Chain A
Amino acid sequence: HLATSLPLPSERDHLRPRIDLIVFMIDIKSKYSLKNVEASLAHVDASFFLGKVCFLVTGVGRVNACSIETNTVCKLGEAYCSPVLFCELELEGIRVTTAQRLLRMLQICAGHIPGVSALSFVSLMRNSDDD
C-alpha cells in the first residue's frame, strides 16, 4: 500500500489489513520529502518503532543533486531507533536488491521467519551500524 503522507484516511480503517512494516521514502533531491516524512512520523503509534519502521533514502546516485545532508537522515534514523537504507531507484540492479531487502524485512516483521522477531532484527542492524 502506498500513501503520500500520514495519517491514512480513517474511512477505510475497518477494511485495512494489519500493518507489519512502514517504509518512509525520502528523496535526497527534495527537502520537501524529508519535511513530509517528519510530519507523518508524528502520526505513527510508538509500538511501530520497535522494528516495524524503516527509512528508505532514494536518489543517492546523483551526488550533485543533493538537497539533504545524509547526516540529517542518519540522525533521524537514530532518533526513531529505525534503520536507514540508501538506494538509487534509477539503477535496476540496486532497485531489485533493495526490494529484496525490504521484502526480507517484511517477512520478519510479519512473523514469517521463526526465531527472528522484528525487534531482534532491528537491534542486530543497529549493532552492525555502530561498527
Chain B
Amino acid sequence: ENVDPQKTAFVLRKAWTLYSVTPLYRFHRGRLRDYARLLSAFIAAEKQKGLAVEVGVELDIKVAVSSLADLRGSEQDQAAVLVQLSLRSRASSRNSEDKLVWSGWFCSVYGDDLSENMPEDFTCLPLFLTHGAESYTSVVGSWFQKTFDCCFRRLAISPLNLSWMVAMWAGCKLDRAASAVELVFSIPHLSQPLDISYAIHPEDAKALWDTVQKTPGEITQEEVDVFMDCLYAHFHRHFKIHLSAAKLVKVSTAVASAHCDGIVKILHSQYLPGVLMLLTELAISQIQ
C-alpha cells in the first residue's frame, strides 16, 4: 500500500472519537461539493434555532467535504470521506486563515465482511472518527443521518479487544526509541474510583510478545491470553494485586493508544493501515 504520508498526516497524534456507521444510502462521490453546501446551510439553520455552538459569537462555519483515495485497505474498500469545519471570523484581519475547528472522516479498511453482499445504492464506510467539539459532531451526524438514512453509534472497546490491541502493538518493530507500554485498570466496586497504571519498558514488552507469538503475522486468542497472564503474574508477584479482576480501560503503546470509551490516538504512520483495519473490524461487528 503506497500511502502518501502527507495526505494521512492529519490522522496522527490526534485523539479520535470512534463511531460505527451503517451503510450510506445513495451517497454519490461526485456530489461532494453539493454536500458541503447543504451541510453548511444545515449548520447555519441549526444555529438560528439556537441549537448549535459558540453562543454569542457571530461566526461563519465553512464546510469542506473531500475524498481521500489513500485511506482504504483494498480496492474493494470505498475511499475515505473527510469532512472539515472551519471558522471564518466576520471581523477577519487581512491575513487570517480559516481556523479548523472540527474534523470527521468515514473510512473502511478491509471492510469486505460488510460490503460483500451490499446492494448497489449503499456505500459502506463503517468507521467514523471525529476530532473536535461534541456539539459539531452531533450536528454533522444529524445531517448525515437525515440525508443518507444511516445510523451512528459510539464504538466502545471491550477489555478483551484492548488486550488484543496492546499485545499486537507492543509486538510491533519500531526503529526509533519507543515510549513505554502502559495499561490502565479501573477497580470496580469501590466507593471512590481507583485507577492503576502499569507501565512496562517497551523492549521488555516486545521481548515477551516475541516469546509468545508462534507464527509471525498471525495472532491467536491463546497467545494474547498468555501475554496478558504474564503481565498479570508479574504485577501480582510485586504488589499482591490481581489485575485480572480489574477492568482494563486504556492501553498505550508507541504505535497507538486506545480507551474503552472508543477514543484512539495513532502515533506511527507505518502501522496506520493495521490499526484502521482493526478498528474497521470492531465497527463492523458493532453494526452486525
Contacts and interface: CB of A to CB of B under 8 A. Distances in A.
Contacts of A31: 228, 232, 244-245
Contacts of A30: 244-245
Given A31-B228, A72-B221, A66 B160 contact: yes
Interface of A is mostly: helix
Contacts of A72: 221, 225
Nearest to B245: A32
B162 to A, nearest CB: 9
Contacts, number: 38
Contacts of B247: 29, 65, 67
Which of A29, A31, A63, A71 neighbours the largest number of chain B CB atoms within 10 Å of its CB? Answer: A31
B244 A35 contact: yes
Question: In the complex, which range does the number of interface residues on chain B fall in?
Answer: 10 to 19
Given A66-B160, A67-B248, 5 more contacts: A29-B247, A63-B158, A67-B159, A67-B160, A72-B221
Contacts of A81: none
A33 B246 CA distance: 11
Contacts of B188: 29
B284 to A, nearest CB: 15
A30 B228 CA distance: 13
A29 B159 contact: yes
Interface string A63-96: 1111111011000000000000000000000000
A64 B244 contact: no
Interface string B156-168: 1111100100000
